Chain A
């Protein structure tokens, strides 16, 4: 299926059309587009030279070229925003689960695509990392409008098959991202809290702004099972035959405690934590979140 049709919903896009995703925390770089830099200089990517014309900023004269050619040349730079957003999408096997029409992976993919579209629309750069126990795909950040197609193509190809293991992975990704920017994690977060938070802390240590979107299925959130059920665990977990009603209370406590622990830990790190159920329409959830961010 065409990725744009699959992951970019006109309804969702329409819902966020008047919103933007601003970096909340100060990022490096000069102001270009929507974001402010604390520094006067800027760090941009060199694109080309042009002949000096009176009035150009003499700070941009490439003296090495002058030395060689005895001509004054001005460095031309790719106009780059300060916001570079890296989307981390969990494609582990657990993301395959669905109780209704939409799996967590599909929902997450829509979320990623929508946010990518938003960022590109506001001329920010966005990239994508698909991960499970390792990095499966990496689409480097770019602010070109056509970059959305690359992102959508990867989303379309994504398959949830492997186990989750973020204990080393996030550190690896953190080292890969050179410039400060935003890291948006889209996952069900079905992993131990400690290694997860260590990874997220690493991003924070690197001065990235981190937003965590936990995607949960309504059945995982509410555990509505009644009759005898054989639960076959994904990601290599053993199966369990049980009367769900007898475990419901304990399960929900474990589930909520886990989410609460992550939320608390995120709050301590000034990381936004948003839990979204796949039964919640994104056109309602996302605008709400973006508006909330905008008010802060």
Chain B
């Protein structure tokens, strides 16, 4: 924005001043002609009033030119230096001052006598008094990065009682577990404040300016775009850097079980990954584990190199199936918020797997699901961790899928519309679906209803059934198989698992569209290299689609070891997604679904660190027999316990965890020059390190006087109209 005029190009409109002059001259050429008898009287009148008329004409012309000049000046938005005589004459132009302050987790870092947030709090408390002195006519909008769309204060005047209220609220603020979403915050500010009147605007960003907060910053990034828009809209932008130079910090960045399936009474190892974000080695770091069933004594990590990581594991045992959690805590350091991490999961007596049999047969191992059921839960003492349950396809109803994190369809011809809709809902909420075709597969139904032009469950549409002669069966191609994926048993050249697998009949699958989000995990060794196994995400769940059947009809796979070796990791993987929704980011809603027939509608939630329970009534989910309850206050990290009241079993528990982003502990700051280099389109950002510099550096120097000009215009317009009437001339 240029000092002088906000829209200097519009000054070209000054040429319009010629319009009244042209009209005046043109009027002289346009007249009617009249023969007149009483000429003597007219001539006398003209002679007597000639001078007066000339003066009146000139006066009106000047007024009209002045009116045009005023309008042109007003739209060009002239600015005068604040404090100058003209600005005093023009009156004070209120400025919108927006303070965005970073209350992300990293601002809890203790440096010196307080945290980064304490320093920003002091800054704010020193800013407020200015609204009673040199910023007296200005308005304050106060926004925290943890609540970008809900300002603490919006365009208010912090004076008197309002100021005391604002100070009290600022004093109560504490670091949150959230990361600073600066783009969302600045966009929200721009939309809210820009929509108002055309007044000068100033944006102050108080932050610790960690490099990870600006990791995505770059040319064309969301941050650059929003800052550029703000700058072009006339915002004065000031960054107040409150980050500390001390960046030493360690934090637990991950906590995971080493098994995907957690079975009761089966030991499982949990590993906590600890990262040293600082530039110096640290150690020893004490790590302790706490579970829903007890506490594990702490053990120390002796040392972690600078910028390095280390693991500390614990083998844990959960005695009964149900919801459980594990929390790892590291010894205290200067940033407490990242020293603990928790994970919630379900301990099963076996992962329930629903096997849908599309072609039951009487003969042993004859029907579609026989090998599946046997493989997943072989008889004997060893607990597989899976609890398969077989149901005929014609017995399915919309509630059939409830309680099964994994569903396997084997040679199902088609599904009724309501059952298919229920299955889609189930998968989208986190369940896994595995589809094996067969001889009964209705290709048209699969294409139309299950694939639905890419919007349905299937990753790819089927084409047709194909076969290979017995003497030359089709084989699986080992190329491109992920050695850590579900088909890892087939990985590697000259793999006997590949050699032994013989495929006589398969359902040819189409190649997926580009950007469809579909992965082909393996292909057949056919001339067309057709997909063998395709996978895609569907909502929060995933779907696997094989090209061969699960029984012996199409291949010899069920009789091979690789069948079991594939099914286990596949079903584990498919069932693991259901847990993702129980481990949340700060602020993400906690959603609980529970069977309406079994449970009371009202549930209770105990947030971390609190004994008091919050009660919520669930809402019925249309088309299902479930209640759904949502709890939004998940700002605090830790374990949230949901208490369900089942009619038969009494209280049962589900656990959820909220953890901060792992890199919130990385306190390295982004250099100012680096940030400016990465935001080339953004010009004119002021950087200050002290709040007093804020008033000097960022206060808009100019105030606009267009309002005064418009008032003057209206006044002169009234005068012109009055004079024109008085002189007997129209406008």
Chain B residues with CB below 8 A from A104, complex form? 37
Q: Which residue of B lies closest to A227 (CB)?
A: B32
Chain B residues with CB below 8 A from A258, complex form? 41
- Map CB proximity to B onto A163-187 as digits: 1 under 8 Å, 0 otherwise: 0000000000000000000000000
Q: Which residue of A lies closest to B49 (CB)?
A: A250
Minimum Cβ distance to chain B for residue A247 (Å): 5
B31, A241: Cβ atoms under 8 Å? yes
Interface stretch among A72-80, A125-133, A228-236, A269-277?
A228-236
Report Cα–Cα, A138/B185, bound state, in Å: 105
Chain B residues with CB below 8 A from A240, complex form? 39, 42-43, 46
A232, B728: Cβ atoms under 8 Å? no
Minimum Cβ distance to chain B for residue A173 (Å): 23
B41, A245: Cβ atoms under 8 Å? no
Contacting A250 at CB < 8 Å: which of B33, B37, B45, B730?
B45
Cβ-based interface call for A246 (8 A): yes
Q: A237-B43, A250-B45 are in contact. Are A232 and B33 (CB under 8 A)?
A: yes
A246, B728: Cβ atoms under 8 Å? yes
Cβ-based interface call for A220 (8 A): yes
Report Cα–Cα, A225/B32, bound state, in Å: 10
Report Cα–Cα, A248/B45, bound state, in Å: 8
Chain B residues with CB below 8 A from A188, complex form? 37
B40, A237: Cβ atoms under 8 Å? yes
Q: A227-B32, A228-B30 are in contact. Are A248 and B728 (CB under 8 A)?
A: yes
- Map CB proximity to A onto B712-731 as digits: 1 under 8 Å, 0 otherwise: 00000000000000011110
Interface SS, A side:
mixed
Chain B residues with CB below 8 A from A226, complex form? 730
Minimum Cβ distance to chain B for residue A223 (Å): 8
A227, B729: Cβ atoms under 8 Å? no
- B30, B32, B38: which has the most chain A beta carbons within 10 Å? B38
Cβ-based interface call for A44 (8 A): no
Cβ-based interface call for A217 (8 A): yes
Q: A234-B39, A237-B39, A248-B728 are in contact. Are A229 and B46 (CB under 8 A)?
A: no
Minimum Cβ distance to chain A for residue B60 (Å): 11
Report Cα–Cα, A160/B153, bound state, in Å: 88
Chain B residues with CB below 8 A from A220, complex form? 37-38
CB within 8 Å of B: which A188-232 residues: 188, 190, 217, 220, 225-232
Report Cα–Cα, A242/B44, bound state, in Å: 13
Minimum Cβ distance to chain A for residue B730 (Å): 8
Q: A228-B31, A245-B728, A246-B728 are in contact. Are A251 and B37 (CB under 8 A)?
A: no
Chain B residues with CB below 8 A from A234, complex form? 35-37, 39
Q: Determine the interface band of chain B, counting residues with CB < 8 A from chain A.
A: 20 to 34
Report Cα–Cα, A255/B27, bound state, in Å: 27
Minimum Cβ distance to chain B for residue A4 (Å): 28
- A104, A225, A247: which has the most chain B beta carbons within 10 Å? A247
CB within 8 Å of A: which B678-731 residues: 727-730
Report Cα–Cα, A229/B27, bound state, in Å: 10
Cβ-based interface call for A94 (8 A): yes
Chain B residues with CB below 8 A from A248, complex form? 728
Minimum Cβ distance to chain A for residue B45 (Å): 3
Cβ-based interface call for A254 (8 A): yes
Q: A240-B46, A246-B728, A246-B729 are in contact. Are A229 and B40 (CB under 8 A)?
A: no
Chain B residues with CB below 8 A from A251, complex form? 38, 41-42, 45
Cβ-based interface call for B53 (8 A): yes
Chain A residues with CB below 8 A from B28, complex form? 228, 241
B44, A254: Cβ atoms under 8 Å? yes
Chain B residues with CB below 8 A from A190, complex form? 37-38, 40
Cβ-based interface call for B34 (8 A): yes
Q: A97-B36, A230-B32 are in contact. Are A247 and B42 (CB under 8 A)?
A: yes
A232, B45: Cβ atoms under 8 Å? no
Cβ-based interface call for B246 (8 A): no
A231, B36: Cβ atoms under 8 Å? yes
Chain A residues with CB below 8 A from B56, complex form? 246
Report Cα–Cα, A250/B41, bound state, in Å: 8
Minimum Cβ distance to chain A for residue B569 (Å): 96
Cβ-based interface call for B169 (8 A): no
B39, A249: Cβ atoms under 8 Å? no
Minimum Cβ distance to chain A for residue B608 (Å): 85
Minimum Cβ distance to chain A for residue B63 (Å): 16
Minimum Cβ distance to chain B for residue A240 (Å): 6
A254, B36: Cβ atoms under 8 Å? no
Chain B residues with CB below 8 A from A161, complex form? none
Minimum Cβ distance to chain B for residue A137 (Å): 21
Minimum Cβ distance to chain A for residue B416 (Å): 85
Chain A residues with CB below 8 A from B44, complex form? 250, 254
B31, A227: Cβ atoms under 8 Å? yes
Chain B residues with CB below 8 A from A229, complex form? 31-34
Cβ-based interface call for B610 (8 A): no
A97, B45: Cβ atoms under 8 Å? no
Q: Which residue of A lies closest to B27 (CB)?
A: A228
Report Cα–Cα, A246/B726, bound state, in Å: 9
A246, B36: Cβ atoms under 8 Å? no
Q: Which residue of A lies closest to B47 (CB)?
A: A250
Report Cα–Cα, A258/B44, bound state, in Å: 12
Contacting B39 at CB < 8 Å: which of A233, A243, A253?
A233
- Map CB proximity to B onto A77-104 as digits: 1 under 8 Å, 0 otherwise: 0000000000000000111110000001
- B27, B37, B46: which has the most chain A beta carbons within 10 Å? B37
Chain A residues with CB below 8 A from B46, complex form? 240, 242, 247, 250
Report Cα–Cα, A97/B36, bound state, in Å: 7
- Map CB proximity to B onto A250-271 as digits: 1 under 8 Å, 0 otherwise: 1101110010000000000000
Chain B residues with CB below 8 A from A241, complex form? 28, 31
Cβ-based interface call for A238 (8 A): yes
CB within 8 Å of A: which B1-60 residues: 27-28, 30-46, 48-49, 53, 56
Report Cα–Cα, A254/B30, bound state, in Å: 27
A233, B728: Cβ atoms under 8 Å? no
Q: Which residue of A lies closest to B53 (CB)?
A: A246
Q: Which residue of A lies closest to B38 (CB)?
A: A220
B32, A250: Cβ atoms under 8 Å? no
Chain A residues with CB below 8 A from B30, complex form? 227-228
B39, A247: Cβ atoms under 8 Å? no
Chain A residues with CB below 8 A from B728, complex form? 243, 245-246, 248-249
Q: Which residue of A lies closest to B48 (CB)?
A: A250
Q: Which residue of B lies closest to A221 (CB)?
A: B38
- Map CB proximity to B onto A34-56 as digits: 1 under 8 Å, 0 otherwise: 00000000000000000000000
Report Cα–Cα, A220/B36, bound state, in Å: 8
Chain A residues with CB below 8 A from B33, complex form? 229-230, 232
B34, A230: Cβ atoms under 8 Å? yes
Report Cα–Cα, A190/B729, bound state, in Å: 28
A255, B38: Cβ atoms under 8 Å? yes
Report Cα–Cα, A243/B730, bound state, in Å: 11
Minimum Cβ distance to chain B for residue A162 (Å): 13
Report Cα–Cα, A247/B728, bound state, in Å: 8
Chain B residues with CB below 8 A from A254, complex form? 40-42, 44-45
Report Cα–Cα, A10/B383, bound state, in Å: 133
Contacting A231 at CB < 8 Å: which of B27, B34, B53, B730?
B34
Q: Which residue of A lies closest to B725 (CB)?
A: A245
Report Cα–Cα, A242/B78, bound state, in Å: 40
Q: Which residue of A lies closest to B42 (CB)?
A: A251
Report Cα–Cα, A49/B470, bound state, in Å: 170
> Would you give 22 A-B contacts (Cβ < 8 Å), ordered by A?
A94-B38, A96-B35, A96-B37, A97-B35, A190-B40, A233-B36, A234-B37, A242-B53, A243-B729, A245-B727, A245-B728, A245-B729, A245-B730, A246-B729, A247-B49, A250-B48, A250-B49, A251-B38, A251-B41, A251-B42, A254-B40, A255-B38
Contact residues of B with A, CB < 8 Å? 27-28, 30-46, 48-49, 53, 56, 727-730
Q: With A232-B34, A246-B729 given, name 9 new contacts (CB 8 A).
A: A94-B37, A94-B38, A96-B35, A188-B37, A227-B30, A228-B27, A232-B33, A232-B36, A245-B729
Those 8 A-B pairs whose CB atoms lie nearest each other, nearest first? A233-B39, A250-B45, A245-B728, A237-B39, A97-B37, A94-B37, A228-B31, A254-B41
